Structure 1
Amino acid sequence: MTHPIPIQFQAVDLDALAVLGGRIAVFADGPTGLSAAVRRVDRLTKGSVTRYLQSDAFSRLKPGEAQDLAWPAGLMAEAIQIVRLPKRCEASIARKAGAAVAKGIGAAGATVLAEGHAQAAEIAFGLAMRAYDFTPHKTGEAKVTGPVVMMVANPEAVAAAAAPGAAVAEGVFFTRDLVNEPANILTTYDFAARLAAMQELGLEVEILEEKQLEKLGMGALLGVGQGSESPSKVVVMQWHGGEKGVAPFALVGKGVVFDTGGISIKPAGGMEEMTMDMGGAGVVAGVMRTLALRKAKANVVGLVGLVENMPDGRAQRPGDVVRSMKGDTIEVINTDAEGRLVLADVMWYTQDRFKPTGMINLATLTGAIIVALGHENTGVFSNNDDLCNAFLKAAKAEGEGAWRMPMGEAYDAKLKSRIADMMNVGGRDGGAITAAQFLQRFVKPDMPWIHLDIAGTALLKADSTLAPKGATGWGVMALNRLIRDRYEGR
């Protein structure tokens, strides 16, 4: 697993600044009000810092952006990095500043002068998040990142404040690794094994195999994977951190380790990205890892349906009818609309067994949500304003884009089947909404529920503020905050 870069928090040492190697990151919002450490660096470089802070180039920097002053005279450092950062700023700007530092860290490492900054812990979080790099399948000389030292006024206090963020970063990295992993490595076997290994963190993990799923009546889920050599599985992860006997909150994830589309096969162009079709399950796994690492005071259960959607002589065909665990029958019009079939059974099982206080499912479910919202926002569908508003608040606080989408009975008519209780698709128009309407049929009455369609946000083709291009880990931060704020009483 890829782990976040370690960050050491140390007291400010003015004498050491003259002999430091690597890079020195300086935070400032202008030529006045500089910390003692920054003033020391300025003197050592014969005023190069203040000259830059007075320049037009600095004035053009936005908060959180950075510029290098290379090979500064008077220092052993390879560069001084000037980061524009007000002393009072929102967490998102502090994280952006930390991410700017992360982009320039090399083998020699970096010293970050965050003396007295109120958002030092958030700077560290942004740095850790942006320093992610997925390299297990690259040969040759490995990229080496040197040590990172943050000089702060109160190292113990900042380290304590940064600890929860470190747990979140571990969860996000776990999710990113899963989503980035190729499908010949991350089979249903391997995925389940990685989740089972989290028992070492205190999670209770159970793997349901195909025979058990057959007995439970999960015909919708099993139909998706019947054309694959990799057996379908459901993995149940439980975290018992709250009061004993209190019903858990539930997270459910779609885990299609590769999606060819099945018999309704996808076009070849871009199909390689379908290694990310298990993104919903990856987020659930990352959240559960975070909760265990930070010893969350809440009861949470995470369930993922792991399948592979392949064309084969045994594969599900368009026109087949399957029976869900709930008992409803589904006419499979398009085998590429498989994620909702997986979720239908896992969601029903989750409610039947755990009777949760609320349930959120995540899935890279539809291309239609990308048409609607692009890659900036996840589509949010819900039957409960209170839970939905709490989630949207958490997502906004963490800077993870989310936008509530409409639902309504009028969309249900598009799912009507001539030969079964419903079809699994409702046509091209409103495709993300009809998918949500389909899922809602497997939500029990009075169950607070949210469906998150992360098709546009799970994997990006360009860098984002806190991640390089590729898997983002979207949702781990927001869901962790939702659980912390709503279920831990903090």
Structure 2
Amino acid sequence: MKVKFVSKLNKMSETVFLVLSKKSALKNIGFNDKHLKEITKSIENKGFGFKLNEIIEINSIKDRKLKTVYICGLGNKTKDLSALDFEKIGGRITELTKLKTKTSVIIDKEINNNENIMRLGYGSILGSYSFNKYKTKNFTNHKLSLIEIVSNNHTKLNKDFKRYASISDGVFYARDLVNEPSNVLFPKAYAQRIQKLRQHGLKIEVLGESKMKALKMHSLVGVGQGSQRESQLVIMHWNGNKAKKTKPICFVGKGVCFDSGGISIKPSNKMEEMIGDMGGSAAVVGAMLSLAKRKAKVNAIGIVGLVENMPDGKAQKPGDIIKSMSGQTIEIQNTDAEGRLVLADALWYAQKRFKPELMIDLATLTGAMVISLGSLIAGLFSNDDKLSSKLIDAGEESGDQVWRFPLNKSYDKLINSKFADMKNIGMGGAGSITAAQFLQRFVNKVPWAHLDIAGTATGMPKTSTNTSWATGFGVHLLDTFVKKFYEK
């Protein structure tokens, strides 16, 4: 779906959506007296009060072209409205007009904040997502292909909105990846799909198991040894800042394409949802796509470790001891604590090869995070206060919110092992914290943040901007983080 900003309605659409704060604003929308009289009559008859998010549908206009008018209220405190408020309204526009081919939107002239206007357009695109590719009947595809938004700043808005169009492409790409079944999106197929993104200017490398074994990445490779599907490590490069000696920022994602739990097998109830255990990697891929499509002026590396965690005679077992790429040894106490094993080698590889300015990893890492924060906010762990503050700020702006949890030596002791340098799971509570402490042991002196998106990658409450199981959480967050703090 496309969003276009125009100075005025050149042609009356079949459907017009008015976003207004009060009845007196109707005189500025450019409708003729006949239409205004009919709209005013409907408002009065239905007791419409222009409250925030209050919506009225008017079908009584007698016009050859104009069939339906919607009005969405903004309330009487428009200066207090956030970009996210407008994003949600954009989603509602699509939700209510998705069976039309075109919708025209007229916004109250009091609203002259370009960011808010663009977020309305962005929300309308987000709300158009669907994943019906495997349905053969009983589904309805959106017909809406164009939303036209009237604004005096249409030239600048069309230019600046390209960023939001790129972000939405990244979010949709991430949602598609997470929604795909694992018999379609297994590690090698996933890597092949990522390689197609070269057309957008990304440089992409793929390491198979033989190359990873040569690099002594036994922690990552060990997770997938029970699967018939070969594990992969994919490295994406975006070089948007041509300045010399510029360190890249690095995003690392957990990509467990299906997680049965391995020998420590999961309960069968909802195991099918473990196709989404690669949500962290999807966020990284989506963010890298967004940066490339909008030609972001930054050097960024995206690394995703892609594996399947399956039970088999060759599978890793509780009690096994492995040596990671870092040289540190790990006692496997639970094969269902596998995501941290994937990230351990991926993080070490990232800092050893690229010496980045900072690292951020994203992972659907722990069920404990779902218990802690539910499905609305992701957990943040970091060794750097400034990096944490930037991510919290970017989360508030993007809507992909994060909340910081502690890291300290007392929690770190909980993953010490009798037989190896560490074990891959703590004992008792604080499961999200001990998982983050495990990851920190594979981070040297580089600013690092870990985002546990176990609750936010899938299954968030349905909203006007997302009715999908997969959310694409993290894409907008990372793009905003880059735009706000690191583009040169």
- TM-score (normalised: structure 2): 0.93
Q: Please name the residue that 2:125 is paired with.
A: 128
Q: Please name the residue that 1:159 is paired with.
A: 158
Question: Does 263-272 or 138-147 show the bigger shift?
Answer: 138-147
Name the CA shift for 1:145/1:411 in 2 (closer, same or farther; >3 Å): same
Q: Does residue 114 of structure 1 match 2:107?
A: yes
Q: Please name the residue that 2:95 is paired with.
A: 103
Matches within 5 A, 1:29-428: 29-34=21-26, 36-37=28-29, 40=31, 43-44=34-35, 46-49=37-40, 51-52=42-43, 56-59=47-50, 61-62=51-52, 64-74=53-63, 76-85=65-74, 88=79, 89-104=81-96, 105-114=98-107, 116=109, 117-118=111-112, 119-140=116-137, 143-148=141-146, 149-242=148-241, 243-428=243-428
Measured in 1, the distance between the counterparts of 2:424 and 2:117 equals 49
Query: Secondary structure of the residue that 1:315 maps to in structure 2?
Result: coil
Contact 2:253 2:361 in 1 (8 A): yes
Measured in 1, the distance between the counterparts of 2:24 and 2:434 equals 57
Name the CA shift for 1:421/1:35 in 2 (closer, same or farther; >3 Å): farther
Query: Secondary structure of the residue that 1:414 maps to in structure 2?
Result: helix
Query: Secondary structure of the residue that 1:284 maps to in structure 2?
Result: helix
Q: Identity of aligned pairs, percent?
A: 39
Report deviation, 1:481. Answer: 1.0
Measured in 1, the distance between the counterparts of 2:44 and 2:214 equals 69
2:119 alignment partner AA:
E
Report deviation, 1:467. Answer: 1.1
Name the CA shift for 1:41/1:265 in 2 (closer, same or farther; >3 Å): farther
Contact 2:38 2:61 in 1 (8 A): no
Query: Secondary structure of the residue that 1:274 maps to in structure 2?
Result: helix
Name the CA shift for 1:53/1:460 in 2 (closer, same or farther; >3 Å): farther
Contact 1:65 1:97 in 2 (8 A): no
Name the CA shift for 1:45/1:139 in 2 (closer, same or farther; >3 Å): farther
Report deviation, 1:66. Answer: 2.9
Contact 2:130 2:468 in 1 (8 A): no
2:88 alignment partner AA:
K
Contact 2:89 2:120 in 1 (8 A): yes
Measured in 1, the distance between the counterparts of 2:88 and 2:328 equals 48
Contact 2:95 2:464 in 1 (8 A): no
Number of equivalenced pairs: 477
Query: Secondary structure of the residue that 1:46 maps to in structure 2?
Result: helix
Contact 1:254 1:364 in 2 (8 A): yes
Report deviation, 1:198. Answer: 0.9
1:122 alignment partner AA:
R
Q: Does residue 24 of structure 1 match 2:16?
A: yes
Name the CA shift for 1:485/1:50 in 2 (closer, same or farther; >3 Å): farther
Contact 1:24 1:113 in 2 (8 A): yes
Measured in 2, the distance between the counterparts of 1:35 and 1:422 equals 70
Measured in 2, the distance between the counterparts of 1:100 and 1:487 equals 33
- Which sections of structure 1, spanning at least 5 residues, go unmatched? none
- TM-score (normalised: structure 1): 0.93
Measured in 2, the distance between the counterparts of 1:231 and 1:77 equals 57
Name the CA shift for 1:35/1:145 in 2 (closer, same or farther; >3 Å): farther
Measured in 2, the distance between the counterparts of 1:133 and 1:273 equals 18
Report deviation, 1:374. Answer: 0.8
Measured in 2, the distance between the counterparts of 1:12 and 1:308 equals 53
Contact 2:252 2:347 in 1 (8 A): yes
Measured in 1, the distance between the counterparts of 2:376 and 2:323 equals 36
Contact 2:296 2:487 in 1 (8 A): yes
Contact 2:129 2:468 in 1 (8 A): no
Measured in 1, the distance between the counterparts of 2:32 and 2:119 equals 23
Name the CA shift for 1:41/1:463 in 2 (closer, same or farther; >3 Å): farther
Name the CA shift for 1:151/1:355 in 2 (closer, same or farther; >3 Å): same
Name the CA shift for 1:360/1:35 in 2 (closer, same or farther; >3 Å): farther
Query: Secondary structure of the residue that 2:174 maps to in structure 1?
Result: helix
Report deviation, 1:75. Answer: 5.9
Q: Deviations over 1:192-227 (max 9, x none)?
A: 011111111111100011000001001111110001
Name the CA shift for 1:179/1:334 in 2 (closer, same or farther; >3 Å): same
Report deviation, 1:462. Answer: 3.2
Measured in 2, the distance between the counterparts of 1:71 and 1:137 equals 39
Name the CA shift for 1:374/1:174 in 2 (closer, same or farther; >3 Å): same
Root mean square deviation of aligned Cα: 1.9
2:136 alignment partner AA:
T
Q: Deviations over 1:4-29 (max 9, x none)?
A: x1123333137x33xx32x2111111
Query: Secondary structure of the residue that 1:47 maps to in structure 2?
Result: helix
Question: Does 99-108 or 46-55 show the bigger shift?
Answer: 46-55
Q: Please name the residue that 1:440 is paired with.
A: 440
Question: Does 278-287 or 40-49 show the bigger shift?
Answer: 40-49
Contact 2:375 2:456 in 1 (8 A): yes
Contact 1:108 1:145 in 2 (8 A): yes
